[in-house]
Amino acid sequence: MSNMPNTTDIQSYMQQVGKQARAASRLLAAANTGDKNHALMTIYKTLSAAKADILAANKIDMDNGRNNNLDAALLDRLALTEDRFDGMLQGLKDVAALPDPIGEVTDMTYRPSGIQLGKMRVPLGVVGMIYESRPNVTLEAASLALKSGNAIILRGGSEAFESNQAIAKCILQGLKDAGLPEHGVQVLATTDRAAVGELITMTDYVDVIVPRGGKGLIERISRDARVPVIKHLDGNCHTYIDSDADLDIAVKVSVNAKTHRYGTCNTMETLLVDTAVANDMLPKIAEAIIEADDAMQLRVDSTAKSILAGNTKLDGHVSDATDDDWDTEYLAPILAIKVIDGLDAAIEHINTHGSHHTDVIITDNYTKSQRFIREVDSASVMINASSRFADGFEYGLGAEIGISTDKIHARGPVGLNGLTSQKWIVYGHGEVRG
């Protein structure tokens, strides 16, 4: 990390980083659980002791950010408050306490040839992480990679450069102290954009890229990457109120799925209500949502509009939906509402307009609940529960690498296992193939 390269040397610098990561990954793959946990706890202690230095480094980033007129949201994400610092350390302890996924052997059976065949869980090798302002991602990503026996190359945002370097120093100390390879975690010493281009195309040295950030960043990386990407695009989540829905559940879940938090990818963006119960249920759901947050705006189709017309509790909250509304992830106190003609139309709407993230049916009908579960093509499909549950912690994964909107490798919330693969192992006794 000490020798900051010239821009012209970016390619050879990145090749060097890649080679070092590959070499470190071999050692980390064979590291035992105790050593990995020891490194994590040493990082914990080192970080605790260096708290003042790290907050000071973050202050430099914040000052630079203000001087460079970074917008308020970005500055907020960049800020390492005492609370956030403590939360970051707690997360590190949580990762140390997780079971080690590496080395797990499953499905060991004898084949007719006489060989004994099974699968062993192993690290992917080298992870490339590309992220924006939040400096706590540096520690979170490093700890998840170490726990799962992977080397990691971290490329944070330029605005968080000082914070990330200060955190990296503590991580290095932990690796050294546990006798693990110091190139196991490398925080890039450059903020040159060309480094990203190298990182995502070094297929010899990098096994997977995990981007964290806005949709624009992730689309750009997915487009240009040669290394496989575990990506999360958008969450346009639906709740479908079936004709056999329980009204109380319909109201309670809708309110929670929409108003619990607005900025999360598992928040409901479109409410679908079956024609048969729209007159009865839609006004009650709409009123409860407005009651939960007076800032809510409802964008409704023509049928919903006529049902809600004249409802004084909704005054000023209702406007006409356009076609774009069905495809939009608002991440804001806005909800699209459509009255729809039965289960088939609901599934069709969700599979066409959704983002295959998380979708919910509210029903007490067995057949319809099972058809919804089977036919909705989303990473999480739910009956009678809030879409807000689609989350690594709620799913019991312990820590979350991210949420994948892909179908390949990992789907939905991704835990430590997302940074592993399974290789085949064969125990033989001199068998040959006939």
Judged by the rule CB under 8 A, the positions of this chain that interact with a copy of itself are: 26, 29-30, 103, 109, 111, 113, 115, 117, 120, 122, 124-125, 207-208, 222-223, 226, 228, 246, 248-249, 252-253, 255-257, 260, 351, 371, 373-375, 377-386, 388-390, 394-396, 406-409, 411-413, 421-433
> How far apart (Å, rounded) are the C-alpha atoms in residues 188 and 420?
23
Please, which residue, 208 or 290, has the CB nearer to a copy of itself?
208
Name which of 65 and 415 has its Cβ closer to a copy of itself.
Answer: 415
User: What's the CA gap between 19 and 6, in Å, rounded?
Assistant: 19
Comparing CB distances to a copy of itself, the nearer of 214 and 428 is 428
**Alpha-carbon gap, residue 382 to 134, rounded angstroms:** 31
Label the pairing between strands 402-404 and 208-212. unpaired
* Distance in angstroms (rounded) separating the CA atoms of residues 349 and 420: 35
**Residue (312 or 433) nearer to a copy of itself, CB:** 433
Q: Do 118 and 108 form a contact (C-beta atoms < 8 A)?
A: yes
Sign of the C-alpha dihedral computed for residues 336, 342, 343 and 345 taken in this order: negative
DSSP H or E segment with residue 65: helix 51-67
Cβ burial 262-284 (10 Å sphere, 16+ → b, else e) = beebbbbbbbbbbeebbeebbbe
**What is the DSSP-derived secondary structure letter of residue 395?**
T
Give min distance, CB of 120 to a copy of itself, in A. Answer: 7
What's the min distance (Å) between Cβ of 377 and a copy of itself? Answer: 7
- Which tokens sit at 90? 């707690």
Residue 83 or 223 with smaller CB distance to a copy of itself: 223
Min dist. Cβ of residue 162 to a copy of itself (A): 34
Where are the alpha helices (H) located in 270-365, listed in sequence order?
Answer: 275-292, 302-308, 343-353
Closest C-alpha among 302, 264, 307, 267 to residue 286? 307
Min CB(249)–a copy of itself separation in Å: 4
User: Angle at Cα 238 formed by Cα 237 and Cα 243, nearest 5°?
Assistant: 165
Of 218 and 257, CB closest to a copy of itself:
257
Question: What's the gap between Cα 316 and its chain centre?
Answer: 36
Nearer to a copy of itself, 48 or 113 (CB): 113
Nearer to a copy of itself, 172 or 208 (CB): 208
Q: Which is nearer to a copy of itself, 313 or 423 (CB)?
A: 423
Give CA–CA dist 410/424, Å, rounded: 19
Shortest spacing between CB 428 and a copy of itself, in angstroms: 3
Nearest distance, CB of residue 3 and a copy of itself, angstroms: 26
Helices 33-49 and 51-67 pack at an angle, to 10 degrees, of 70
Give the 3-state secondary structure of residue 112. coil
Q: How far is the CB of 408 from a copy of itself (least distance, A)?
A: 4
Residue 416's φ and ψ, nearest 5 degrees, are -55, -35
Closest contact distance (angstroms) between CB of 104 and a copy of itself is 12
